[in-house]
């Protein structure tokens, strides 16, 4: 589903990702853990090109979305098309929810598919309502994000990701901004989603969740992958 080879990224000549190789299989649920500053978020952001790597290759669903001929990154015309494609196929859920504040919950869900995928609003609205129902928020369709708790906003953000029928969803510390009592309402939705066969890559500090829900855990430190494997193995050998 996602293939990464030799991914390297520096900020101000400091290497944040060092020659990272990673393959994510279709339907796989991968938790990326590790100390703050390890490069977890940067790796995630490179997968959907929110950050442009310095070198390496990235494939998504058989398409090359980034490569470095002669050791240099290239984002030509073809790649711009691929960027648009990539953003439609790989959804992202952020720590700070990133909902549009001046749109209702329903419009937050509907506008993506309508604008980016050309769906009819009349088709998107019932799908959105169904998604909201599945996370217990159908009565919030006409509310604005600021009227919701953090946990509710993040559930809406997950619904918004799903509205695009993505091939994979990237989660960047999806519960780190939440009050402790709201964390589980989001993790429960993610655990349910994991069982549906959705490909998920999750940067998280929730070790219990990683242990119980992930198929594979990747431990990053100093810009590299230092351990990976099934949760039982990785947590046994810290």
- Residue 16 within binding range of ligand ADP, rule CB under 6 A: yes
Looking at the DSSP assignment, which residues form a beta bridge with residue 4? 22, 58
- Residue 105 within binding range of ligand ADP, rule CB under 6 A: no
State which of positions 61-80 bind ligand ADP (CB under 6 A): none
Helix (H, G, I), strand (E, B) or coil at 93: strand
Q: What minimum distance in Å lies between the beta carbon of 58 and ligand ADP?
A: 16
Q: By C-beta, is 105 or 157 nearer to ligand ADP?
A: 157
CB atoms within 10 A of CB 189: 19
- Positive/negative CA dihedral, 139, 109, 159, 145: negative
Q: Which residue is it, tokens 């598919």? A: 113
Count of residues of this chain found to bind ligand ADP when the rule CB under 6 A is applied = 13
Q: What minimum distance in Å lies between the beta carbon of 184 and ligand ADP?
A: 20
State which of positions 22-61 bind ligand ADP (CB under 6 A): 34, 36-42
Q: By C-beta, is 36 or 122 nearer to ligand ADP?
A: 36
Give the phi and the psi of residue 145 in degrees, each rounded to 5: -50, -40
State which of positions 170-189 bind ligand ADP (CB under 6 A): 172-173
- Helices and strands: H and E segment counts in the chain: 8, 10
* DSSP class of 37: T
Question: How many angstroms separate the CA atoms of 13 and 32, rounded?
Answer: 24
Q: By C-beta, is 13 or 196 nearer to ligand ADP?
A: 13
Residues that bind ligand ADP (CB under 6 A): 11, 16, 34, 36-42, 95, 172-173
């Amino acid at each position: 589903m996602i293939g990464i080879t030799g991914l390297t990224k520096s900020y101000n000549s400091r290497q944040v990702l060092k020659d990272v190789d990673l393959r994510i299989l279709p339907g796989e649920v991968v938790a990326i853990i590790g100390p703050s500053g390890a490069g977890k978020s940067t790796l995630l952001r490179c997968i959907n090109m929110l950050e442009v790597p310095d070198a390496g290759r990235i494939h998504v669903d058989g398409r090359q979305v980034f490569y470095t001929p002669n050791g240099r990154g290239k984002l030509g015309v073809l790649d711009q098309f691929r960027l648009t494609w990539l953003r439609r196929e790989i959804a992202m859920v952020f720590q700070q929810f990133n909902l549009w504040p001046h749109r209702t919950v329903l419009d937050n869900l509907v506008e993506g598919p309508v604008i980016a995928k050309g769906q009819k609003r009349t088709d998107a609205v019932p799908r959105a309502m169904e998604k909201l129902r599945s996370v217990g928020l159908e009565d919030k369709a006409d509310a604005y994000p600021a009227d919701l708790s953090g946990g509710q906003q993040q559930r809406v953000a997950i619904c918004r990701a799903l509205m695009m029928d993505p091939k994979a969803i990237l989660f960047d510390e999806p519960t780190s901004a939440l009050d402790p009592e709201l964390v589980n309402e989001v993790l429960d939705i993610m655990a349910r989603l994991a069982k549906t066969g959705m490909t998920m890559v999750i940067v998280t500090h929730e070790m219990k969740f990683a242990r119980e829900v992930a198929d594979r855990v990747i431990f990053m430190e100093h810009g590299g992958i230092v351990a990976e494997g099934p949760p039982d193995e990785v947590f046994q050998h810290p």
